[in-house]
Amino acid sequence: MTIDPMACQFAEAERLDAEGMYDPAFEHDACGVGFVAALDGKPRRDVVVAGVDALKAVWHRGAVDADGKTGDGAGIQVQIPQGFFKEHVERTGHETGEGRLAVGMVFLPKTDLGAAEVCRAIVESEILNFGYRIFGWRQVPINSAIIGEKANATRPEIEQIMIANEDGINDHQFERDLYIIRRKIELGVREAQVADFYICSLSCRSIVYKGMFLAEQLSAFYPDLLDERFVSSFAIFHQRYSTNTFPTWKLAQPFRMIAHNGEINTVRGNTNWMKSHEARIGHDAFAEHLDVIKPVIQSGSSDSAALDSVFELLVHAERSVPLVKTMMIPEAWADNADLSEEVRDLYLYCNTVMEPWDGPAAIAASDGRWVLAGMDRNGLRPMRYSQTRDGLLFVGSETGMVPIAEQDLVHCGRLGPGQMIAVDLAEGRLYKDEELKEHLAAQQPYSQWVGNITHLDTLVEAQDGTEHLFDLGDLKTRQRAASYSIEDLELILQPMVETAKEPIGSMGDDTPLAVLSDQYRGLHHFFRQNFSQVTNPPIDSLRERRVMTLDTRLGNLSNILDQDESQTRILQLQSPVLTNAQFQAMRRYMKDSATVIDCTFDAGRDDENALSDAIQRIRQESEDAVRGGCEHIILTDEATGPDRVAMPMILVAGAVHSHLVRQSLRTFTSLNVRSGECLDVHYFAVLVGRRCHHGQRLSCRGRHRRTAPPRSVV
């Protein structure tokens, strides 16, 4: 008896999905990725050949089914060979003209002819409604005999639609129109409730050929890639190796702009932040079509697909590919003395605009103008490059993907943590890491813009001391009210105060799970750390100062598509955990723009709705404050006393945040917490970690201590 691993995997997927235990957010990758580019930016046949050969060389980075033919997915993105497609169009009796034609690579339902026809009608109507002419559909030649049974069973119908640009619209505007058209098509298909539809690419610059097959099968499955007329100035390739995920045709990479090896560990927080940002997104490029591009990240997207969705939005909002990579996946710059002041100011500006997408990442990206490879701040995925005398640049997960004679090599090396290498195809120019960052830093007066940033430390230095909030007796009473024990004070608080380090215990934790305990347990005990998957080592900002920081900010939750100095009018904090002195300085900075909300409820109420009524009150007060122009909300349990009971701040902060998100108000205010419950590192981590799960930006402090609060890792 033989066991089919992939069949078992699909069966398990169906079982988990039926039981509500599978989530597409589990999708992660550890793949092979790279690109080949002509340094002069001119299309060449050998670029496509080298891209296909490089992909075949990283076959070992993908998984193979028991049938030996079905794979996790592989693909290639190349420049649209205009001559190849124009010849096809002219054979059908159309005049193509001088301008670029656009091509859409479309996956249609294969087994439901009616649904496929509905999809074609939606595609055609949206293109025509935007004022463009359609040359027609092309059945993509494929060789289905070479792929495995599983891949063939789920294979979509693969067709291309060709679109004319007869009004002389420049390529940049044409590309943006095609992006909006694609989003309109996707919306129409969702409303028609048609499954198994996917647009791999819709562009006048590039096209994606991909599928659920082995890397070595790519050019055999798609004979187009073997045609001598198929030329390109670049080729991005990707071999998928999925972990905790199930292979599908649409999840094969490259996506529309990127190919990604690694995992975005912060994807849940980044996705939720994007939902919050959507309320204020705006750009002249999208005009009246803003509602069509929302949600930016489609439900069920993998971490790589989510990254690609935001990446292409920022590119279409007139940011270059290198700048978007710098913004989304920055290097660790704060303590890097090798960076020039101008580049540091560039990173400081990017930090004020949006949250980094963090995790092991090696990406290859292109918008048809730029082709780029870049690394995450830790450099936890490999990326090597070789430059040849005949004007080609090879970048990929391994060296030697394509055999190159030693005498033909001009230079070879590897990308380190946070580094990039790119080719400007329009200028025909190679940019290495340092030169590229200096080039980006010179695009705008970033050094002038970051002068608007206010640093909290400068405000603290300007004030006269700190008042004690409570006398010793009141302090002890409040500690008891927050469920502090002698053991907590001796084993947790004292070591942190005396050594400024997290207390260390045994690796094993034999404490009963909070949900099973018959004793009161703080709400933070019900949370467990969600560890990274696969090979990612645990790191923190104290032991890894070179690549991590606790720096956070208050302000600039406005339009992430803007590019001006107003985005840098923020308050910069070195940590989200504040001392009394820091909080008082921050409070003076906020002036009348802050609203304080009491997070206690009447101790005399003994009905079961007391807590829920209090939560609803706090939500409503927060909403009213933001609608009234409040820029900062301070949630506090200072009123705790004989007649007032404090609510768990984790519960309150999550409730207020989620309510403001639903009301599209979250990006108009910051959330700040003053709580007597915050004692150990785990509580701070859970409270600040709500940002990762629900998109919150919090400033937290322990107000009950007369000594300095502990340093904590969050």
The set of residues, in sequence order, having a beta carbon less than 8 Å from that of 409 and lying 6+ positions away, is 386, 387, 388, 389
How confident is the model over 120-131, as a mean pLDDT? 96
Q: Which two tokens stand for residue 390?
A: 């005949």
612-664 per-position pLDDT tens digit: 999 999 999 999 999 999 999 999 999 898 889 999 999 999 899 889 988 98
Closest C-alpha among 508, 474, 505, 478 to residue 490: 505
pLDDT of residue 712 exceeding 50: no
Strands (E), 216-359: 234-239, 242-243, 258-262
More confident residue, 85 or 534: 85
For residue 114, give the H/E element and its range. Answer: helix 113-129
Residue 79: predicted pLDDT: 97
Query: What is the length of the chain?
Result: 714
Report CA Rg, the chain: 28
Per mean pLDDT, which range of 14-28, 267-281, 289-303, 665-679 is the poorest?
Answer: 14-28
Q: What angle do CA 351, 297, 201 make, to 5 degrees?
A: 110
432-457 per-position pLDDT tens digit: 999 999 999 999 999 999 999 999 98
Contact criterion met (CB below 8 Å) for 692 and 264: no
Q: What is the pTM of this model?
A: 0.86
More confident residue, 534 or 686: 686
Question: What percentage of the chain exceeds 90 in pLDDT?
Answer: 48
Highest mean pLDDT among 235-249, 427-441, 575-589: 427-441
- Residue 485, class by beta-carbon neighbours within 10 Å (0-12 exposed, 13-18 middle, 19+ buried)? exposed
Average pLDDT, the chain: 85
Catalytic positions are 31
Contact criterion met (CB below 8 Å) for 301 and 579: no
More confident residue, 112 or 706: 112
pLDDT of residue 29 exceeding 80: no
450-476 per-position pLDDT tens digit: 999 999 988 887 776 666 778 888 888
Handedness of CA 386, 392, 394, 400 (dihedral sign): negative
390-421 per-position pLDDT tens digit: 999 999 988 777 888 889 999 999 999 999 99
Q: What is the DSSP code string of 442-464?
A: TTTTHHHHGGGPEEHHHHHHTS-
CA–CA gap between residue 497 and residue 209 (Å, rounded):
59
CA–CA gap between residue 339 and residue 441 (Å, rounded):
11
Amino acid identity, residue 438? E
354-393 per-position pLDDT tens digit: 889 988 899 999 999 999 999 999 888 889 999 999 999 9
Residue 533: predicted pLDDT: 44
